[in-house]
Amino acid sequence: MDGVIALYKERGMTSHDCISRLRKILHTKKIGHTGTLDPNVDGVLPICIGQATKISELLMGSGKVYRGSITLGMAYDTEDLDGHLIATKAIERPLSSEQIDGLLQKLTGHIMQVPPMYSAVKINGHKLYEYARRGEVIHREPRPIFIQSFKQTKVSSFDEKKQTQTIFFEVACSKGTYVRTLAVDFGKLINTPSVMSSLTRIKSGGFDISQCVTLEQVDKAAGSDTLSDIIEPLSTALSDYPAYQLDDSRWKIISNGGFLDQSILPDREPIVRLVYQGETKALYQFDEPKKVYRPFKMFLKNN
């Protein structure tokens, strides 16, 4: 049982909750997720099983896409609605769509971001949220992130009674991006308190939300012996890497962890996926000084 399940994580659950449930359903401990989702965020959570746990950091490092909303006129200490209200400001004149587009554009490309206090980032051996729960604010150095796109998905909504404006967005971003901090940074551009009011991850690790299955569906499949229908093979999860079909002689070489000469891929791609008899057996990485491909990730049963 090796592969990846594109799990739909429901709101109200932690990523660890999902892993615990799946370990019981699948009767295996060799399982891991590819990046946590906060309890109040739903969406794509790729789950690696068996040999696929070796690629969890590769999937984790891939870009992610989210849809959500930013509400202007109020701020929370957690930067989402799970925390405590810390500031308000009446929105008397809502932003136009053109103004919103311009502000979103300012938060795209290579930018620096300060991680939020309510996060698992460690400073001096302690997670930031541990300091935050004690009421302490710790200095955090800004970190580089990349925002590929940040755009509106529909016309914003203005609540005349509450005097707030809600902006609906889609963002494609790099690993390490805190989308709730982007929501707060949006408000800072116009000196207005703001909060991430909803968030759904719609793409992660190469999987789209349309491919996802629920925990209930996994449980049902496990009980009816159709689990293979919802576990994506390594070849699918690693389809972005160029593939090389191994013959019997080269299969024997990689079975022993040997090197392959650069002739297998004249273009010298940094990483190649090695396939034998229809299955992905390894990822090999090009060693520029030695001009050979050497083991990077091995998916052999005895590894």
* Model confidence pLDDT, tens digit, residues 211-228: 999 999 999 998 787 888
What string of DSSP letters covers 149-187?
EEEEEEEEEEETTTTEEEEEEEEEE-TT--HHHHHHHHH
> What does the alpha-carbon distance between residue 50 and residue 290 come to, in Å, rounded to a whole number?
32
Do the bridges between strand 260-261 and strand 271-276 make them parallel or antiparallel, or are there none, so unpaired?
Answer: unpaired
Instruction: At 236, list the tokens.
Output: 């699918």
Looking at every residue in the chain, the average pLDDT score rounds to 92
pLDDT at 268: 85
Residue type, 188: K
Q: Identify the H or E element spanning 290.
A: none
Q: Are 32 and 56 in contact (CB under 8 A)?
A: yes
Active site residues: 38
* Model confidence pLDDT, tens digit, residues 43-74: 999 999 998 999 888 888 888 999 999 999 99
User: What is the maximum alpha-carbon separation in the chain?
Assistant: 74
pLDDT at 46: 94
* Model confidence pLDDT, tens digit, residues 69-127: 999 999 999 999 999 999 999 999 999 999 999 999 999 999 999 999 988 889 989 99
Q: Is the pTM of this model over 0.85?
A: yes
